[in-house]
Amino acid sequence: MQTLTVSLADRSYSIHIGSGLLARAESYAPFIAGKTVAIVTNETIAPLYLPQVKAAVLSLGKSIIEIILPDGEEHKTFTSLDKIHTAMLAAACDRKTTIIALGGGVIGDVAGFAAATYQRGVPFIQVPTTLLSQVDSSVGGKTAINHPLGKNMIGAFYQPLAVISDTDTLKTLPPREYASGLAEVVKHALIFDVDHFAELEANVDALNARDASVLTRVIAHSCKIKADVVKQDERETKDIRALLNLGHTFGHAIETEMGYGAWFHGEAVAAGTVLAAQFSRDEWGGADIDLPSIERLLTSLNLPTKAPKVAAQKLLAHMQRDKKNEDGVVTLILLKRIGEAYVDRRVPGAKLLAFLERAVA
């Protein structure tokens, strides 16, 4: 097992990464103070892993409430949030009730937002079961639900007590979902670590084969990158954390326009990352960007590198509602070169629209 710390003063917590963690009572014992635990999961994950988590928690003498949501990004909504709140209220859960978020990024985001808002805040533990959630969404305290007009528009910053990442859960991921997580790994390397990008290039076959030792190392490295960023800029007020949104301004627009769930989040991020790199290189002076290497790595990891053929004006409209925007100007995360990203708020809307029209033609 590898353990990392997200250092945030009294909100600091550990990330535990390894095999067989999910079924161990000691994984949860230090973080459950109350008598009741609400396990939030979905219809896909529940048959696979809920019995193991339940057995571990019950062995600690705790009572359990099961809250099972539908699976999919399209269910990251007020309806799912209300289902969690209603179940907890019906069971008379108090402020010592611990929520365990057992699942991928959708479950982590919705359950985390429920934890942030139920009786103004209850403790929660992230137990991510997808690669994307293990390397990215479970770390950093961003919780949210989607709105028909935009992704992650309603939420809160709320840190977990711990993140327990059992790498055994990655064995059951469907290929598209597994590849989706690799997009966030590549994103971290593109923003901060050119050497890690080269390591990913050298380990494509091992990553595609889901080699346990390589995965543990890669997950830990991605978590360390994100933990260091969150430590410096927990609430995204200094532009440091905003860098983690490379590919997301374009990617969220793709997800919203295509309909939540049509494209996996990581797929949209991969295509959005290529768009950001293309714009950086061809429109904004990023002459040092090795775009072919970026496209080659993403392709080798079974990820898309082209945006869907949709109306450029619609993509721009979604981008204009992005949370990072200021004073009506789209905020973009762009690249200077592999391993170095920056925030830019100077791009004219007309220039961005012309680029999108060429990109989706």
pLDDT in tens, the chain (361 residues): 899 999 999 999 999 999 999 999 999 999 999 999 999 999 999 999 999 999 999 999 999 999 999 999 999 999 999 999 999 999 999 999 999 999 999 999 999 999 999 999 999 999 999 999 999 999 999 999 999 999 999 999 999 999 999 999 999 999 999 999 999 999 999 999 999 999 999 999 999 999 999 999 999 999 999 999 999 999 999 999 999 999 999 999 999 999 988 999 999 999 999 999 999 999 888 889 999 999 999 999 999 999 999 999 999 999 999 988 988 889 999 999 999 999 999 999 999 999 999 999 8
Its CATH architecture, for the domain 2-172, is 3-Layer(aba) Sandwich (3.40)
Active-site residue 152, yes or no?
no
Annotated active-site residue in 265, 281, 295, 318: 265
**Sequence-ordered list of residues with C-beta below 8 angstroms from that of 59, at least 6 positions apart, any chain:** 25
Helices 248-258 and 265-283, packing angle to 10 deg: 130
The pLDDT assigned to 308 comes to 96
How far are the Cα atoms of 52, 61, 334 from residue 55, in angstroms, in the given order?
A: 5, 10, 46
CATH code of the region 175-359 = 1.20.1090.10
Active-site residue 120, yes or no?
yes
The CA distance from 32 to 43, in Å, is: 24
Annotated active-site residue in 188, 226, 281, 318: 226
pLDDT tens for residues 47-90?
999 999 999 999 999 999 999 999 999 999 999 999 999 999 99
Active-site residue 248, yes or no?
yes
Annotated active-site residue in 42, 146, 152, 245: 245
Residue 291 burial (10 A CB sphere; 0-12, 13-18, 19+): middle
Active-site residue 265, yes or no?
yes
Q: Which two tokens stand for residue 104?
A: 């991928």
Active-site residue 241, yes or no?
yes
Output DSSP code: residue 301: T
Q: Which two tokens stand for residue 32?
A: 């459950």
> Is residue 99 classed as helix, strand or coil in its secondary structure?
strand
Q: Which residues of 235-255 are buried (b: 16+ CB within 10 A; e: fewer)?
A: ebeeebbbbbbbbbbbbbbbb
The CA distance from 178 to 142, in Å, is: 21
pLDDT tens for residues 269-295?
999 999 999 999 998 888 899 999 999
How far are the Cα atoms of 106, 165, 282, 319 from residue 133, in angstroms, in the given order?
A: 9, 9, 32, 24
Annotated active-site residue in 221, 248, 281, 318: 248
DSSP string, 189-256: HHHH-HHHHHHHHHTHHHHHTT-HHHHHHHHHHHHHHHHHHHHH-TTS-SSTGGGGGTTHHHHHHHHH
Domain ranges of the chain: 2-172, 175-359
The pLDDT assigned to 1 comes to 87
Annotated active-site residue in 75, 151, 196, 252: 252
Active-site residue 358, yes or no?
no
Domains 2-172 and 175-359 share a fold: no
Annotated active-site residue in 241, 257, 267, 281: 241
